Amino acid sequence: MKDIRRMNVGLTRAKSSLWILGDSRALMQGEFWAKLIDNAKQRNLYTQGDVLSMLQKPSHTLRPALPNAEYREV
């Protein structure tokens, strides 16, 4: 994203939290993204992870908290 105004609109719409998922090596090529990533690292708000494994279906089922409640697989 080369237009800083569009980036600003996208980043400031968050109400309570903001997650940015992407390849930081690619994002660091952009001046504004590099600044954002550096700032997140300085404030200990940057983490690394395997995005694909985060999106996989969990291997467990949530059980109801109430005796007569239904449960569903997630």
CA dihedral 44, 45, 46, 49 (to 10 degrees): 110
Instruction: Tell whether the model's pLDDT for residue 40 goes beyond 60.
Output: yes
Specify which residues 61 forms β-bridges with: 73
% of the chain exceeding 90 in pLDDT: 19
Q: What is the pLDDT of residue 14?
A: 83
69: helix, strand or coil:
coil
Query: pTM of the predicted model, to two decimals?
Result: 0.58
Phi (first) and psi of residue 12, to 5 degrees:
-90, 0
Instruction: Tell whether the model's pLDDT for residue 71 goes beyond 60.
Output: no
Q: What is the pLDDT of residue 70?
A: 61
CB atoms within 10 A of CB 27: 15
Q: Max Cα separation, the chain?
A: 55
Predicted confidence band at 64 (pLDDT cuts at 50, 70, 90)? low
